[in-house]
Amino acid sequence: MGPVTELRELLGRPRRIAITTHQKPDADALGSSLGLYHYLTAKGHKVSVVTPTDYPDFLRWIPGSDIVIVGPADPERANWIFDGADIIFCLDFNALGRINEFGKSVKDSEAKKVMIDHHLEPEPFEDIAYVDMTASSTAELIYRLIVELGDEAMLTLPIAEALYAGIMTDTGSFRFTNTSPKVHRVVAHLMEIGVNVNAVYEHIFNTATLDRLRFTGYCLSNCLFVRDDLKTAYVKIEKEVFRQFNVRTGDTEGLVNYALSIKGVQLGVLITAQDDIVKLSFRSRNEVSSAELAKHFGGGGHFYAAGGKSQGPIEEVEKKLLEQIALYLASSDTVASSEPS
């Protein structure tokens, strides 16, 4: 029995459903969660969306964002929802560590766990997996699932807007290599439903605060380092910089792409010092695997986009990063000698 058949049977009568996604949700995480929320609510289920952390203000326009329960702000309620659910949908992540302390709540719940995801190397915890690592985004998978369940006619404008936001951002506004002909066909349908693509773009990309713009400028002038010998550029941000510019969730979005945009660079990395850990975000091109490098920092993701984290001072993490990049490049003559396309 395939996952669609299992889900069709599971959703055949009203259920108590929890939807959750990874920490620091991006547009794909939140968009796929809210798209699924609207669909399941219309099917007659009682649905809650719980995030393991806060999320950027520029995503609060997504229809339904006002119902999202930010777990750390109300952990008792979040855990109660997981404990009382019949089904827990886990979207845009494939390891329980990605939802922080709520991973235990999901694991211990007697609910059926449904993983819907497109990342590499899952750590199985689910009862049902609807996974395609070639998909552009989890939002694309939610669209596909709704259609395969025979409910294409239930695709309303709120669902379409939420899913479009996820697809647009996870494809880099349709410029990344995961932008397939299928993606454009999905997006065409969402536009036919009524999505105003210009408005979605404005909400996500053209609502920066003055602090964020100044923070970006400061980082590019003072925190960007280029290692020509490693075909690498990275942005290293100390905790003091976050305080100086009143940085909020989402303000670092896109910084790693500036590093990767430099001519001759095949790997861009964002290194940020948090309260007790250092986070790393990887972006790459050609034959360089972001996911492979992220493994050295307890992370993973896609071939060209991945993330990880590490304990210790940021200087030590930076040193380890450069050592691992050197070892990785030395292990592959093709990578070391290839030129950016």
User: pLDDT tens digits for 235-275?
Assistant: 999 999 999 999 999 999 999 999 999 999 999 999 999 88
pLDDT at 274: 85
Q: How far is residue 39's CA from residue 107's CA, in Å, rounded to a whole number?
A: 25
The fold for domain 210-337 equals Diaminopimelate Epimerase; Chain A, domain 1 (3.10.310)
Q: How far is residue 128's CA from residue 134's CA, in Å, rounded to a whole number?
A: 18
Check: CB of residue 186 under 8 Å from CB of residue 139.
Answer: no
Average confidence score pLDDT of the chain: 94
Fold match, 3-205 / 210-337: no
- The angle subtended at Cα 258 by Cα 284 and Cα 260, nearest 5°, is 20
pLDDT at 337: 46
Q: How far is residue 307's CA from residue 178's CA, in Å, rounded to a whole number?
A: 18
Q: How far is residue 313's CA from residue 83's CA, in Å, rounded to a whole number?
A: 37
Check: CB of residue 303 under 8 Å from CB of residue 290.
Answer: yes
**Cβ-based neighbour number of residue 236 at 10 Å:** 21
**Cβ-based neighbour number of residue 43 at 10 Å:** 17
Handedness of CA 266, 165, 75, 43 (dihedral sign): negative
Q: Give percent of the chain with pLDDT exceeding 70.
A: 97
Lowest mean pLDDT among 17-21, 86-90, 201-205, 300-304: 300-304
Domain boundaries along the sequence of the chain:
3-205, 210-337
pLDDT at 327: 95
- pLDDT, average across residues 288-305: 93
Question: pLDDT tens digits for 102-136?
Answer: 999 999 999 999 999 999 888 989 999 999 999 99
Check: CB of residue 326 under 8 Å from CB of residue 230.
Answer: yes
pLDDT at 333: 59
**Cβ-based neighbour number of residue 175 at 10 Å:** 8
Question: pLDDT tens digits for 175-201?
Answer: 999 999 999 999 999 999 999 999 999
Task: Give the rounded distance of the alpha carbon of 5 from its chain centre.
Answer: 27
Q: How far is residue 313's CA from residue 319's CA, in Å, rounded to a whole number?
A: 10
The fold for domain 3-205 equals inorganic pyrophosphatase (n-terminal core) (3.90.1640)
**What residue ranges in the chain does DSSP mark as E strands?**
16-21, 46-51, 69-70, 87-91, 112-117, 128-131, 224-227, 232-237, 267-273, 278-284, 300-301, 305-310
**What residue ranges in 214-255 does DSSP mark as E strands?**
224-227, 232-237
